Chain A
């Protein structure tokens, strides 16, 4: 489903760069995590990069992204500087949350990230609140509430959609559906099709969450509809989680089938860009080299940064 007419080469390369940045961060975490240099539980986004990147390509800095516990892809895609995220993971005071948040709690209001939450579901409402704020202040702006299939179990999912529809708010409900809640398959925790539920409240869109172009095109439609009408929309992106729910071990659930060649959003985009002659192998290599440098510098920055002073906790 790769209709190249609708995406410009620069846009394609931008998707590529953002996804690869996230991927390289994950790979760095895999490399060092077992040495305990990052004392924080990580929920990796390996294999899921396309969802956040395809959506955030249509957002401006002032648009809001409300995230849950699985933060890395969304935060970087929205513009959180890599070095701030790395410093947070390394527990340093220069981290995006001053080291008080860790992997699950990222903060970067300049890029529309007003904090993320590790209690499943609640962040959906915060995105709706940001949309209400845009409306009350007559500001242009779209809020995106990003959540997993597990969050659809929670009452706050329904309540948030209901209010957003009643009040007419510019918010995108972005379902990053890896079909898992920890080790539970979706069939065990969620009875209805969430998109069918959402369709009672708002227009719904669908994309292949392992395919950045697919997400990019559906998100473009959904977000321009939100900007045009000021009303909510829902985007469902089935995707695949490569790793265990949390930590650095590969997923090994018997009912999960992952083909790292076919399911890889980055490889998919690479072959698309090359096949459509939207990029040359040299250009892609250049992007990678530039990102590797950026990562090296960010690691250096994080590791050189001071730990926070413990005096802050003296009573």
Chain B
């Protein structure tokens, strides 16, 4: 599959040193390894010539990048065991679709370990995985799954959309003494933006505005945030665009403040619709600010079917900036009061 064809799609216009998303991840890992000898990376093909799409290449400590057999479940337990006994592992997967093989360890061990022992254990474990569709890869090589993982108590789920956030959130995830699932969208790898050279962290649970406006709140994580930004800029939409940056913990106040102001909410989520992130945000607003929804709340997600392989279907399956813009315009044009929840 022509990985190289995923050309840079968008860059955030900011001052400062420009770095790609992939290089921002690489720099975070490199700096963390240099700072702390306990930080190591482990994963199937993490140490090969492709270096998980470049994010593992040219590190100062290649001796701390360990390859593994095709044994995701056992290796998750191995990483957890190392985390419980003094190391800070980063377990890496080329695709999130391989994580379900490790579902036992993630569900029953990793996410539970801290709470199950009265909050006493330190679990400094980061699981990195690349999400998103490829190119006719079909149902088993194109999933997102952040909603499914966020469902598990005890596991944070992080979804950076910009290079700056990729570095700051990854450093934060490595620094924490609790397990973090760090999901990187493969279509963002080549995107560029300003990234500070020094080490810095971005706290989990703090979203950000990517654009300010008064007529509609869009909440969109990961690639959906960038596509939504593109939609707003290309169509000059009056939108408050929130990138939550982390699915869990969720920046509830940021979302509620915005919706109370705009009275309209669209959640754009490149994941499955049922019991997912989009539903969670709608539930949040229905619970906490139902009076604010003057003109309806909607979600835009994948259809509730597995990803098809054929190109024509695959392109239809994934929302894109044009479809986001069309949906946003339709919502904005609705008179407030129509379709209100209360």
Contacts and interface: CB of A to CB of B under 8 A. Distances in A.
B310 A181 contact: no
B71 interface: yes
B70 A100 contact: no
Interface string B40-58: 0000010011100000000
B313 A105 contact: no
A182 B135 contact: no
B271 to A, nearest CB: 14
A121 B138 CA distance: 17
* Most chain A beta-carbon neighbours within 10 Å: one of B71, B313, B316: B313
Given A154-B71, A313-B303, A100 B136 contact: no
Nearest to A38: B136
Is the contact region of chain A dominated by helix, strand, or loop, or is it mixed? loop
A101 interface: yes
A282 interface: no
B276 interface: no
A183 interface: yes
Interface stretch (A22-30, A184-192, A286-294, A295-303): A184-192
A315 B303 contact: yes
Nearest to B49: A183
Nearest to B94: A182
A163 to B, nearest CB: 17
Main secondary structure of the interface of B (DSSP, over half): loop
B310 A100 contact: yes
A251 to B, nearest CB: 13
B314 to A, nearest CB: 8
Interface in B75-114: 97-98, 100-101
B86 to A, nearest CB: 26
A181 B304 CA distance: 33
B7 to A, nearest CB: 14
A108 interface: no
Given A119-B140, A154-B70, A155-B73, A308 B310 contact: yes
Nearest to B72: A154
Given A91-B309, A190-B69, A247-B1, A310 B138 contact: no
B3 to A, nearest CB: 9
Nearest to B273: A315
Interface residues of B, number: 39
A258 to B, nearest CB: 19
Given A153-B71, A310-B312, A41 B45 contact: no
A5 interface: no
A308 B305 CA distance: 15
Given A100-B309, A102-B310, A310-B312, A41 B137 contact: yes
Contacts of A99: 308-310, 313
A267 interface: no
A182 B49 CA distance: 11
A313 B272 CA distance: 13
Contacts of A314: 303
B74 interface: yes
Interface string B140-159: 11000000000000000000
A67 interface: no
Contacts of B303: 313-315
B312 A91 contact: yes
Contacts of B139: 100, 105
B339 interface: no
5 contacts: A39-B135, A39-B310, A40-B138, A92-B310, A102-B310
Interface of B: 1-2, 45, 48-50, 67, 69-71, 73-74, 97-98, 100-101, 134-141, 273, 301, 303-306, 308-314, 316-317
Interface of A: 36, 38-41, 91-93, 95, 97, 99-105, 117-122, 150-151, 153-155, 181-184, 188-190, 246-247, 307-308, 310, 312-315
The 9 A-B residue pairs with the shortest CB-CB distance, nearest first, are A102-B309, A40-B136, A153-B69, A99-B310, A91-B310, A39-B311, A41-B1, A39-B136, A153-B70
Given A36-B2, A104-B137, A313-B308, 14 more contacts: A39-B135, A39-B314, A41-B1, A41-B136, A99-B310, A100-B138, A100-B306, A100-B313, A105-B138, A122-B101, A189-B69, A308-B312, A312-B313, A313-B303
